[in-house]
Amino acid sequence: MAKIDEVKEYIGFIKAIFITFIVLNTSLIAWIFKNFESVESWKLYVILALIIFLSIIIYILFLDILKKIKSLKDID
């Protein structure tokens, strides 16, 4: 397989993980808004920590995708 095809496959794979984490993050945020008053505070803190953790992972994946896209122009 050519190097450019390998990088494109990698980008596609990371993009799938990226979208999955965005959906998970959005679901957790919606859960907090729905259950804010009826849940113990420690559960809210755990979910908030998960949201922050997922947001950091999403940011790192986003930067990795951009880096790989920029590297495509150097491959010929």
User: Is 48 among the domain residues?
Assistant: yes
User: Is 76 among the domain residues?
Assistant: no
- Please tell me the total count of domains within the chain: 1
Residue 48 sits in which domain range? 3-71
pLDDT tens by residue, 4-59: 889 899 999 999 999 999 999 999 999 999 998 899 999 999 999 999 999 999 99
Q: Taking phi first (over 0 means left), then psi (-120 to 50 degrees means alpha), and beta for anything else, what does residue 54 get?
A: alpha
- CB distance 9 to 31 below 8 Å: no
* pTM confidence score: 0.85
Angle between helix 41-72 and helix 3-35 axes, rounded to 10 deg? 160
User: Is 57 among the domain residues?
Assistant: yes
